[in-house]
Structure 1
């Protein structure tokens, strides 16, 4: 749409030039005809009317200079009454338009700027020095690149449409290939270029759901610091915003059993504090010879252990009052009452 409007404007400008040239030529012809008619009404020039001859010579000179100033050649052949034929005028207009468009058109293999002449003629501030931009190669986060580019330009004193002809300095690889393939003269504002860029390149960052964040667990043999950093990175990409206190609580829930039991009883305010305490606890467990989190012993295993001890004649106290303990006690009584 922008290109079609630009072509129409160029055609109107060229046609205006042609009409202006024709008008100048017709005006000059009228002046010449008027002087010739005035000359016929007067007697032949003598020595005392030399100024009139000089005026006629100046008129002829002006006519020649006027033809040189007009756009293109004027191969008009006037009739005996000094009128120009319409066919000649039509051919002249067509030829002028053809020369105008042939001169402005360029081969496809020659690079042409994708922005309009208005953008190209904008002047940079006095003493402006191009800053060093971060390069975008088609990967990464395009919105972050645009934000960084705009801030860099603003700090250098350039704003608005002045950013258009600087944007190419921040592109490389696939980003630069996209830029040079833009249609010639299709960009007329920074907002338009920004829209085209963000429409072509989009972020591939994955959004993390609350369910995934809640089900994240510490891997086997994964250091606690690495787990906290991994969980924290996932939480930053979560579509739901969490307070730091809620995030710490969810992160502790995903830790290994031993650390989780200890850290749940400690009030932690920041992730930095959580990482410090978790690391200290992990080092303490490793130094004590426990290479894994403590495992809670089942009550059933404890009862069988006490049963075996009592059967061997061990006098260890039996704290369990289950069926196994009652059976052991009954056997002990019957043995003591049996006569030998």
Structure 2
């Protein structure tokens, strides 16, 4: 809710420091309150159909090596499927069990999935194989123009450094080849 506020101006045309501080504190408090109110609560990413799917009575969950987000997601998904298939599980069970096998950044990826965005194991595994790309792209979203410029400069510098290393290595190889040519003459 926005409201108009009278700004006390002194006879010489300036706003008091106390008023500026008070206004800034109010703005910060309102921003903080808005962020707290818009805090996103966890919602399961799979559809109601999968939510209503019941585990078999005698089902014993497999012991999983938890995936923390480091390494190849495709390899981990293959490992996960094999572990679950050994226990006789199907696609809907795989969807419900998958969260138990995640930790750290991989778990963060899972809880950030939108509600009702997963209706099959195939959908979840495809998203899982691309989770790393999503997090890389999220990490480079700038909040301000200044941040964008800083990141772009940093990326450009890292490319230049790698290019310089390559050029140095290539020129050293060329020098070695020249020495070999001289020696054979």
**TM-score, normalised with respect to structure 2:** 0.49
**TM-score, normalised with respect to structure 1:** 0.27
Rg larger in 1 or in 2?
1
